[in-house]
Amino acid sequence: LTFPLLSVTLLVSFGSSMLYGYNLAVVNSPAAHIKAFYNTTWARRYGHGLAPGPLTLFYSLTVSIFALGGLVGSLLVGLLVERYGRNGTLSRSTLLILLAGGFMGFSRELGSPEMVIIGRSITGLHSGRCCLGCRAVHGPFLMARSPAHSQGTGEDFIFPMATGSANLRGFLGLVPSVFICLGVFFAQVLGLPELLGEGRFWPLFLSVVVVPASLQLLLLHCFPESPRYLLIERNDVCGATKALRQFLGTPDVQDVIEEMKEEQRSLSSMEMVSVWQLLRDRSVRWQTLSVVVVNAGMQLSGIDAIWFYTTIIFENTGIPVSQIPYTTVGTGAIEVVMGLIGCFTIEKLGRRPLIITGFCTMGICSAGITVSLLLQTALPWMRYVVAACVVGIIAGFCMGPAGIPFLMTAELFTQSHRPAAYIVGESLNWLCNFTVGFIFPFLQMSAGAFCYLVFCGICLLVALYIYLVIPETKNKTFMEISHIFA
């Protein structure tokens, strides 16, 4: 793993995955200030404030519209990458963040709640483009096997080379999820009262995303385009050779060029499968169902409710308002630590133990929140048990469910089926993200403490499915995995 390869991986994760994590958590701490702004603006326009129900609806839309933008962005990324390449796609997506930052940053000055909602949807569009680009365009390189291990498996290499990267596949495949955790953590730190957590700073807090996006835009042009894209998509042998020499740090790249040419010839005779064909293909029926279960389960596990509404959850438990920002930052720090632990242990422990343990931990902690809230009246110290259960949900998620579903999506399919599988998995991710973000406040109002039992049931059922159906994919080729499914 050379320094240029590691650098471009970190840069892309910094400008895509970290921004995604930041936008997940950025609406958490300023929730009361955003609601107050909506209420004040509505009263100025119509002479009366918003009732609690419509105000909750307005705020839920602000939170969840991010996911609808992400869904649209993920569906467009394939066309953009094919047309503009990796650098071009990320550059155009970064310009969206600058536009979104402008909308959100000036929303209060112009008295327009609509600008906040539009800005959130645009940040979602950017995250949908970049996150799927990072997973589906850079991910296959991170999960690439050495040529000796991958011959005949149809692996989607970005840098096909004999790096022996099979033992790094899981580690590097989870790097984006660590950056998501870092993005959430930075949003929690900036949301402290001493920084941008004051009421007058919330527009700036929402628009801080322009800083890392601008930095990525400037640094991205220091790196060449993906060699695989240059040779296979553009047939630019000279450009691919030059890029490979810079990435690999060696002038002798002829073997890699020949390998990519062989891949180009095999891809030209390969018919790519559409989403409809994937869903109807009985030979990969269980693989497709597994992608559906783990991707939908990842978002329906309750982690989005924790990220979006941590402050509200802690307020309902009776934790003093002055302590909530610091409690939230503590959960974010644990999140980063658990993400790193998952990265460094995935190749030793395997995919199945981490993801099953993660979902089981989340399910048990969700049930723990329900029990703690029910006993809180009699036992006031139960509020701190709720905080511990929230930490347990975050730790369980970052241990495995945060990144392994994306890793599995690539490992369960050949190149002909993989793009359609990514579309299915990513679409479910964003749809379920929207569902949880929009419905959770109303679910909490109607079901009270019992709303967390919904997440408990989903987590335990997904863990049971993985235990019964999905095999260990560590160091296995597609054919080996396919035989196990059969």
pLDDT over 90 at 464, yes or no: yes
Give me the pLDDT at residue 161, please.
33
Span 436-454, pLDDT tens digits? 888 988 888 888 889 899 9
Structure tokens given for 16 = 């895509």
Q: Is 318 left (phi over 0), alpha (psi -120 to 50) or beta?
A: left
In contact, 355 and 404? CB cutoff 8 Å? yes
pLDDT of residue 460: 95
pLDDT at residue 13, as a whole number: 66
Neighbours of 480 (CB within 10 A): 12
Whether the CB-CB separation of 192 and 311 falls below 8 Å is answered with no
Does 257 or 131 have the greater pLDDT score?
A: 257
Over range 233-255, report the average pLDDT: 79
Q: Does the pLDDT value for residue 144 go beyond 60? A: no
| pLDDT for 41 | 93
Residue 248 contacts residue 2 (beta carbons within 8 Å): yes
Q: How far apart are CA 136 and CA 63, in angstroms?
A: 26
What's the sign of the alpha-carbon dihedral 187, 191, 196, 201?
positive
Dig out the tokens for 394 from the structure. Answer: 């975050």
pLDDT tier at 360 (50, 70, 90 boundaries)? Answer: very high
CA–CA gap between residue 310 and residue 459 (Å, rounded): 19
Q: Check whether 84 has a pLDDT greater than 90.
A: no
pLDDT (0 to 100) of residue 463: 94
Q: What b/e sequence results for 105-128 when a residue is b if at least 16 CB atoms lie within 10 Å of its CB, and e otherwise?
A: bebbeeeebebbbbbbbbbbbbbb
> Under a CB-based contact definition with an 8 Å cutoff, are residues 227 and 238 in contact?
no
- Average pLDDT of the chain to the nearest whole number: 79
SS3 412: coil
The pLDDT score that the predictor gives to residue 466 is 92
Tokens of 378: 């009699």
Q: How far apart are CA 212 and CA 94, in angstroms?
A: 9
Please tell me the predicted confidence (pLDDT) of residue 172. Answer: 66
Q: Where are the alpha helices (DSSP H) in 318-448?
A: 324-349, 351-375, 382-399, 404-411, 418-447
Q: Is the pLDDT of residue 162 over 60?
A: no
pLDDT for residue 153: 30
Per-residue model confidence as pLDDT tens digits over 85-94:
566 666 667 7
Residue 1 has pLDDT above 70, yes or no: no
Compare 271 and 6 and report the one with higher pLDDT: 271
DSSP state of 229: I
Give yes or no for a contact between 77 and 132, defined as CB atoms under 8 angstroms apart: yes
Mean pLDDT over 203-208 rounds to 90
pLDDT per residue over 420-439, tens digit each?
888 888 889 889 989 988 89
Report the pLDDT value the prediction gives residue 117, as an integer from 0 to 100: 93
**Least confident window among 41-55, 96-110, 232-246, 388-402:** 232-246
- Identify which of 122-131, 188-197, 258-267, 343-352 has the greatest average pLDDT: 188-197
477 backbone dihedrals φ, ψ, rounded to 5°? -80, 170
